[in-house]
Amino acid sequence: MEANMPKRKEPGKSLRIKVISMGNAEVGKSCIIKRYCEKRFVSKYLATIGIDYGVTKVQVRDREIKVNIFDMAGHPFFYEVRNEFYKDTQGVILVYDVGQKDSFDALDAWLAEMKQDLGPHGNMENIVFAVCANKIDCTKHRCVDESEGRLWAESKGFLYFETSAQTGEGINEMFQTFYVSIVDLCENGGKRPMTNSSASFTKEQADTIRRIRNSKDSWDMLGVKPGASREEVNKAYRKLAVLLHPDKCVAPGSEDAFKAVVNARTALLKNIK
């Protein structure tokens, strides 16, 4: 049996699972859990010291699920406390603040911390990850848009939700889907079910959308050297158009990336004799 599979897995019987929260300090991990478990929101920031632990019961289909929630502190200071709690986990709530780009960029480092602490025999493939793009109520400060977050999550086979612990938007839906996915995983012998979207676009498409998003000018966007010829621009354009055409590519953000490539080509061709 896999190390992090829960002990009891007969259908219809109760099941014990362990879930943890992960993400930078102040992104809203504790508030998301509080909103779901206590139906309330606290606007004052009370940093989690080390770990908060809670138990809750939920019903998924005919099974009663006993959930042990370990709400982790995001501050680097608590690394030594956190690292004891990664093992034997079935589900991770991975949170970032849509108004704090740093917290989004830190998601890979959080996965790396967990992987390192699980050690060489730890398996991240049989853990359900629910990515929460939190604080969507703060629309004015938003700097990580939905397609960027969704692309990151879905290209890793993770669930993705837009949430606000303040208004409650997306919170129940997130937990319900999260728990159902964990039960499915337990009943599926510990294999994470592939989401439709993660199976339907390639790593090349996801990487290309990210590259286009971060490109500094039209040359860079098409992947050609400044001063390239019409033929070179057209060749690069055709390659990207085939890869990203909305009829062919369902990766989040592909439509915007496709439009940006069309505009970049038009702008460059105008100035090439």
Nearer to ligand GTP, 94 or 182 (CB): 94
Interface residue with Mg ion, options 4, 24, 30, 126 (CB under 5 A) = 30
Inter-residue contact 183 to 15 (CB < 8 Å): yes
Inter-residue contact 62 to 11 (CB < 8 Å): yes
CB of 67 to ligand GTP, least distance (A): 18
Element (H, E) at 211: helix 203-213
Closest CA to 59 of 10, 9, 12, 128: 12
Interface residue with ligand GTP, options 25, 37, 81, 124 (CB under 6 A) = 25
CB of 20 to ligand GTP, least distance (A): 12
Told to check if 27 binds ligand GTP by CB under 6 A, we report yes
Token couple for 186: 């337990």
Interface residue with ligand GTP, options 26, 113, 232, 255 (CB under 6 A) = 26
Told to check if 134 binds Mg ion by CB under 5 A, we report no
User: What spatial distance separates the first Cα and last Cα of the chain, rounded to whole Å?
Assistant: 66
* The one segment of 48-56, 121-129, 153-161, 222-230 that binds Mg ion by CB under 5 A: 48-56
Helix (H, G, I), strand (E, B) or coil at 168: coil
Restricted to residues 165-184, the positions that interact with ligand GTP (CB under 6 A) are: 165-166
Closest CA to 18 of 84, 74, 65, 80: 65
CA 26 to the chain's CA centroid = 17
Residue 31 interacting partner from ligand GTP, Mg ion, none (CB closer than 5 to 8 Å by kind) = ligand GTP
Told to check if 164 binds ligand GTP by CB under 6 A, we report yes
